[in-house]
């Protein structure tokens, strides 16, 4: 059996360190969870694992369900290896089941794999029809040792607190100010719990923007001075901005209507990446925050590339903890806008294609949809092939931006698809700033 110099047994682990994540076949199974010996069975301690990109399918409609899965356990003789946990969660992507069943299935699989002293699974599912569904399932192991049982009880009692949506002072407002839109999110310690999009408008008043923010937060169940008490209080506000004209408007809105003093990424909150740009201040905060988020989400690979399908298409590269720079290519909407200025009768298109290969269009709409989708897919595949040869490997790719899910559906080079990667990066900055 292989043992590290820290005393951990690793000989039975096959997934960790294997480079790119394989695609689990056959759906979720307890066999995907790899375990290793717990070196401290005499000491009850809590392990918490969160998977904020959970996806499965509704068994009735076939529509995707999204959410965050949090697994907490007190190990007995075994612990679960984190990368195998990721693969286990990935296997739910095409799995059809109700959220209540999924949460309990995950609990049963962890109990079977680990036989823990205690385990709790929290399914924090994204809202449908303005309704939040959070499912909590729990297991207690019957312990023969009264002293250990009492110690476990005290450990859990000390950890207990209000329900997830009732936690106070553990949520932050996140705002990504882009050239086209404001992406607004509310996140807790375990992931994004609500998100909205507003247009970027430097001509509006700070009061108007503040009232919009207060309404959206009240809609999500968060208390503000404008809406009165809600279920959850906000602990802070973190902003990424590439539109300087919006900064005083957002600051005014947050201070007057939310009683929050925003902190701007890069200006007030240093981004913990070594910036190797020739002129570091030229890099947009959104690019650095997205690269930081990708780095934190995939810490086990040498290099990560964040591909943002926004106003421009940005390829931002990180090796180790160094932001190297990237590539800036035409964006989907800016390309479409440029085409529209020269085409009088350009039809409105959805930028989707219900096919895995391009179709020779027999209408302008089909020609545009397939031309844009597969054109950007080919650009992505070409730059993926070149960058994997240029960067130190292994290399992982993360897709983000509103167009990311469409491109990711017809290419296989992405390890993660996170449309709100900048918001996730802001959430991680907020969490690290609390330490």
Query: Are 392 and 319 contacting, i.e. CB atoms less than 8 angstroms apart?
Result: yes
Give the pLDDT score at 260: 86
- Reduced to 3 states (helix: H, G, I; strand: E, B; else coil), residue 250 is helix
Q: What is the pLDDT of residues 353-366, one digit of tens each?
A: 566 666 676 777 77
SS (H, E, C) 64-109: EEEEEEEEEEECCCEEECHHHHHHHHHCCCCCECCHHHHHHHHHHH
Q: In which residue are the tokens 């449309």 written?
A: 419
pLDDT band at 152 (very low <50, low <70, confident <90, very high): confident
Q: What is the pLDDT of residue 288?
A: 93
Q: Which residue has the tokens 């799995």?
A: 95
| Tokens read off for 290 | 């997205």
3-state DSSP assignment of residue 19: coil
Mean pLDDT of all residues in 214-222:
78
The average pLDDT across 192-197 equals: 84
CA distance 42 to 25: 37
Q: What is the 3-class SS of 347-397, one letter each residue?
A: CCCCCCCCCCCCCCCCCHHHHHHHHHHHHHHHHHHHHHHHHHHHCCCCEEE
> Which tokens hold the place of 79?
């612990």
Average the pLDDT over 82-89 and give the result.
90
Question: Residue 36's beta-bridge partner residues?
Answer: 79
411 closest CA partner among 378, 434, 433, 367: 378
Best CA proximity match to 387, nearest among 327, 298, 329, 310:
327
Helix%, strand%, coil% for the chain, nearest 5? 35, 30, 40
Spatial CA neighbour of 382 closest among 397, 400, 393: 397
301 class by beta-carbon count within 10 Å (0-12 exposed, 13-18 middle, 19+ buried) = buried
C-alpha–C-alpha distance, residues 345 and 330, integer Å: 22
Distance CA 258, CA 306 (A): 32
- In the DSSP assignment, the letter for residue 143 is P
CA dihedral 409, 414, 417, 418 (to 10 degrees): -150
Residue 191 has pLDDT above 60, yes or no: yes
Higher pLDDT, 121 or 163: 121
Given a contact cutoff of 8 angstroms between Cβ atoms, the answer to whether 217 and 230 are in contact is: yes
What is the three-class DSSP state of 416? strand
pLDDT for 109: 95
Please count the residues of the chain: 435
pLDDT score of 426: 93
**Which member of 76, 109, 176, 286 is catalytic?**
286
Q: For residues 246 and 202, is the Cβ–Cβ distance under 8 A?
A: yes
Is-catalytic flag, 286?
yes
Q: What is the pLDDT of residue 155?
A: 67
Of 22-36, 143-157, 399-413, the range with the lowest mean pLDDT is: 143-157
| Rounded distance between C-alpha atoms, residue 18 and residue 22, angstroms | 9
Q: Which residue has the higher pLDDT, 37 or 310?
A: 37
The domains of the chain, with CATH numbers, are 30-160 (3.30.1130.10), 171-264 (3.30.420.40), 283-434 (3.30.420.40)
- How many Å apart are CA 370 and CA 357, to the nearest integer? 9
Confidence at residue 304, expressed as pLDDT on a 0 to 100 scale: 94
User: Comparing C-alpha atoms, which of 430, 393, 421, 433 is closest to residue 295?
Assistant: 421
213 pLDDT more than 60: yes
β 236-241/131-140 pair status? unpaired
String of DSSP letters for 260-302: ---EEBTTTB--SSEE--SSGGGS-HHHHHHHHHHHHH-TTSS
Which two structure tokens, joined as six digits, stand for 423? 């918001």
* CA 369 – CA 358 distance, rounded (Å): 9
How far is 171 from 166, CA to CA, in rounded Å?
10
Read off the pLDDT of residues 58-77 as tens digits, 9 standing for 90 and up: 888 888 888 888 898 999 99
DSSP E strands in 129-244: the ranges are 131-140, 171-177, 181-188, 191-199, 236-241
């Amino acid at each position: 059996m292989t043992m590290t110099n820290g005393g951990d047994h690793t000989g039975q682990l096959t997934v960790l360190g294997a480079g790119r994540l394989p695609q689990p076949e056959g759906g979720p199974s307890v066999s995907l969870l790899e375990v290793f010996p717990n070196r401290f069975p005499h000491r009850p301690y809590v392990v918490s694992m969160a998977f904020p990109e959970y996806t499965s399918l509704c068994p009735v409609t076939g529509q995707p369900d999204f959410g965050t899965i949090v697994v907490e356990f007190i190990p007995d003789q075994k612990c679960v290896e984190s990368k195998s946990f990721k693969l286990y969660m990935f296997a739910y992507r095409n799995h059809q089941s109700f959220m209540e069943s999924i949460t309990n299935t995950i609990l049963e699989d962890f109990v079977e794999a680990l036989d823990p002293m205690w385990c709790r699974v929290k399914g924090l599912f994204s809202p449908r029809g303005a309704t939040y569904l959070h499912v909590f399932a729990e297991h207690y192991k019957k312990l023969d040792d009264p002293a250990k049982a009492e110690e476990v009880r005290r450990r859990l009692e000390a950890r207990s607190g209000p329900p997830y949506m009732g936690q106070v002072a553990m949520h932050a407002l996140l705002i990504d100010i882009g050239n086209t839109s404001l992406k607004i999110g509310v996140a807790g310690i375990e992931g994004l719990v609500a998100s909205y999009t507003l247009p970027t408008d430097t001509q509006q008043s700070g009061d108007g923007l503040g009232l919009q923010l207060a309404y959206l937060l009240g809609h999500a169940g968060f208390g503000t001075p404008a809406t009165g008490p809600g279920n959850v209080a906000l602990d802070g506000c973190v902003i990424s901005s590439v539109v300087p004209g919006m900064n005083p408007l957002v600051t005014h809105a947050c201070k007057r209507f939310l009683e929050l003093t925003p902190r701007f990424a890069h200006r007030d909150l240093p981004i913990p990446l070594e910036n190797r740009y020739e002129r570091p201040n030229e890099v947009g905060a959104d690019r650095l925050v997205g690269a930081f988020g990708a780095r934190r989400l995939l810490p086990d690979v040498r290099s990560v590339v964040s591909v943002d399908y926004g106003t421009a298409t940005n390829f931002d590269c990180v090796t180790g903890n160094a932001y190297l720079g990237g590539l800036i290519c035409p964006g989907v909407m800016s390309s479409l806008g440029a085409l529209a200025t020269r085409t009088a009768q350009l039809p409105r298109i959805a930028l989707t294609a219900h096919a895995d290969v391009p179709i020779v269009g027999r209408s302008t709409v089909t020609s545009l949809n397939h031309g844009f989708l597969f054109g950007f897919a080919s650009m992505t595949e070409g730059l993926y092939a070149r960058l994997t040869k240029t960067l130190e490997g292994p290399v992982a790719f993360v897709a983000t931006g509103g167009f990311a899910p469409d491109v990711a559906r017809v290419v296989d080079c992405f390890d993660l698809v996170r449309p709100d990667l900048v918001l996730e990066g802001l959430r991680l900055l907020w969490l690290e700033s609390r330490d």
